[in-house]
């Protein structure tokens, strides 16, 4: 098997179609069929069931997906490592959940560029905590910053700071969680449980968003209210564009950094120091 076959296999798996996979990898459909057939011959197993509706992975195909993804990741990492500029000797691939990039991890990047100029950085955004943990285990990430890590063998988990979710509004007449202009922003299972416990009468909010911190743009452009991290809402509260909703409960969730326990301490220790410093500065800005 070569890397081209692995990428083609994953394209068929993700699109559910040889035709759509061909469009994704920019080859003819017959080429996709030839690559998959060659892969099946090499493995001695059928990977897809072909029908008019598309291509459905077999049990073997679903199992092989994990191996194909790992092969592609290792190849990409090797290519990136070999392509490091002459003045950069080390590489960091860091992933985080969307809301943690906004107002936090984006502040870490310039700190790293200043204090660790020899470090080549690859940053990526992943929505779910389980996906970030899996990427760590697969070696796709060197570090993940997330809300709800699940303990895994070989992974160190270290708390960085506490995230405070507060109810804010752009409606001068108010705007609690029971108002018609309330927007439910999905911050994950823990927030869903706390929200249901505190607002049992609002089981089906008028508007439900799964876009994290991007939803604050909706508040700024419309008369609405919603829960957001205090560090993100603070600048808009300072300018008067948003106000804290009086007597509304706030919710606190710890934020963690996760990384392999066999990490390079010379690489990881300064990065952890940077995370702590940025967290302290973020907390100080929010308090002001």
pLDDT surpasses 80 at 284: no
* Tokens (6 digits) for 111: 């700190």
213-241 mean pLDDT: 88
Residue 30: what pLDDT?
92
Least Cα distance to 60 among 19, 24, 22, 9 occurs for 9
187-197 mean pLDDT: 83
Residue 35: what pLDDT?
93
> Is the Cβ–Cβ distance between 149 and 157 less than 8 Å?
yes
> Is the Cβ–Cβ distance between 92 and 121 less than 8 Å?
yes
Residue 278: which pLDDT band, with cuts at 50, 70 and 90? very high
Q: What is the pLDDT of residues 205-221, one digit of tens each?
A: 777 777 666 778 888 88
* Tokens (6 digits) for 66: 């994990």
Residue 272: which pLDDT band, with cuts at 50, 70 and 90? very high
Residue 288: which pLDDT band, with cuts at 50, 70 and 90? low
Distance set, CA 242 to CA 199, 209, 222, 285, 287 (Å): 22, 19, 11, 16, 16
| Domains (range + CATH), the chain | 3-82 (1.10.10.10), 90-148+263-287 (3.40.190.10), 163-253 (3.40.190.10)
Q: What 8-state DSSP symbol labels residue 213?
A: G
């Amino acid at each position: 098997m070569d890397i081209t076959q692995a990428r083609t296999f994953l394209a068929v798996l993700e699109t559910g179609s040889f035709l759509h996979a061909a469009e994704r990898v920019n080859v003819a459909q017959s080429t996709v069929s030839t690559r998959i057939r060659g892969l099946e011959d090499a493995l001695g197993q059928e990977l897809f069931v072909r029908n008019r509706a598309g291509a459905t992975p077999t049990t073997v195909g679903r199992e092989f997906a994990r191996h194909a993804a790992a092969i592609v990741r290792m190849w990409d990492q090797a290519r990136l490592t070999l392509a490091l500029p002459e003045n950069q000797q080390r590489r960091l691939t860091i992933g985080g959940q969307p809301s943690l990039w906004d107002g936090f991890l984006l502040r870490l990047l310039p700190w790293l560029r200043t204090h660790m100029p020899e470090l080549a950085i690859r940053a990526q955004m992943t929505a779910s905590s389980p996906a970030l943990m899996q990427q760590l285990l697969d070696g796709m990430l060197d570090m993940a910053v997330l809300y709800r890590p699940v303990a895994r063998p070989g992974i160190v988990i270290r708390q960085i700071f506490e995230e405070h979710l507060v109810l804010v509004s752009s409606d001068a007449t108010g705007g609690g969680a029971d108002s018609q202009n309330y927007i439910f922003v999905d911050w994950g299972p823990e927030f869903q449980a706390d929200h249901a416990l505190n607002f049992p009468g609002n089981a089906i909010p008028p508007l439900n968003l799964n876009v994290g911190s991007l939803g604050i743009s909706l508040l700024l452009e419309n008369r609405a209210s919603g829960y957001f991290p205090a560090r993100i809402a603070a600048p808009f509260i300072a300018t008067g564009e948003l106000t804290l909703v009086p007597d509304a409960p706030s919710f606190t969730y710890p934020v963690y950094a996760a990384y392999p326990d066999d990490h390079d301490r010379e690489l990881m220790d300064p990065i952890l120091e940077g995370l702590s410093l940025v967290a302290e500065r973020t907390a100080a800005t929010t308090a002001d």
